[in-house]
Amino acid sequence: MDDRAKFKTEGKPTWCPGCGNYGIQAALKKALLALDLEPHRVLLSSGIGCAGKMPHWVRVNGFHGLHGRALPAASGMKLAAHDLVVIAEGGDGDGYCEGMGHFVHACRRNQNLTYIVHDNGVFGLTTGQASPTGDRGFVSPATPFGAIEGPLRPLALALAAGATFVARGYSGDVEHLAGLLRQGIRHRGFAFIDVLQVCVSFNPSKSYAWYRERVAKLEESGHDAADLRGALAAALREEDRIPIGVFYRAERPTAEDQLPALAKGPLAGHDVSNVDVSAWMEEFV
């Protein structure tokens, strides 16, 4: 098989023409190829939304679950098979609305998995309602007079919650995004990557041209990714320039390192044929 086709599926995406998800899909495939991973060694968990279709169109082991629940499923996958690469993926509506509680605690727990969020400011699958990262005043079917809330700052939240790898990419720069995904997947700990994703159908004002004039790579500004306070300042920046790149990176024991049950290897490989749970079951009779 041609390596370039290793992660290609027979089915073709049904996203809108020009959707930023195509760039994220291409970047993910590039990252997996660059890391020399085999499809059967990768587990991809997603929630509901346009981004949630990613497991259908990247040739790996995929799980398409419930709205906001990509992280709990990914957490279970990592506990059962912590020797595999586990990636959770979803949209900003999926992850920062229904899935917000899971997001915060995943940052705290520091499981060795990667979380990719397609951040376009809208619920694209349900025709463009304002998401938690949508702008104040955003007019949508659900907010005809304009959204009254200001946008959530997911990177600042991840930093405050304890994530050990925090980055932001842009769907219009596939090579740069692929590099961020590669670093996140390689990182030992919870790696969070928020991706500025163009939604041509329901948030066209933030177009590729709009982002091209504003995104600025942190690595070109001398940013120190080991400086938590500097990372937080960059995450809260309100200037016209939008920083992308690795905001923060730190080493800390992972959840898997601290669980005695995993010392003998992945749970999926444990011999349970002689385990007797009858005494426990009696407690519920």
- Going from the N-terminus, what domains does the chain have, and what CATH number goes with each? 14-282 (3.40.50.970)
Contacts of 173 (CB under 8 A, 6+ apart): 23, 215, 244
- Rounding to the nearest 10 degrees, give the CA dihedral for residues 35, 178, 39, 76: 100
List 45's β-bridge partners, or say none: 63, 88
Write out pLDDT tens, residues 199-235.
999 999 999 999 999 999 999 999 999 999 999 999 9
- What's the CA gap between 74 and 246, in Å, rounded? 23
Q: Phi/psi zone of residue 132: left (φ > 0), alpha (ψ -120 to 50 degrees), beta?
A: alpha
Query: How far is 190 from 112, CA to CA, in rounded Å?
Result: 5
Q: Tell me which residue of 237, 95, 214, 224 sits closest to 156, measured CA to CA.
A: 237
> Does pTM top 0.75 for this prediction?
yes
pLDDT digit of tens for each residue in the chain (285 aa)?
A: 557 789 999 889 999 999 999 999 999 999 999 999 999 999 999 999 999 999 999 999 999 999 989 999 999 999 999 999 999 999 999 999 999 999 999 999 999 999 999 999 998 888 888 899 999 999 988 889 999 999 999 999 999 999 999 999 999 999 999 999 999 999 999 999 999 999 999 999 999 999 999 999 999 999 999 999 999 999 999 878 999 999 999 999 999 999 998 988 888 888 888 888 888 888 887
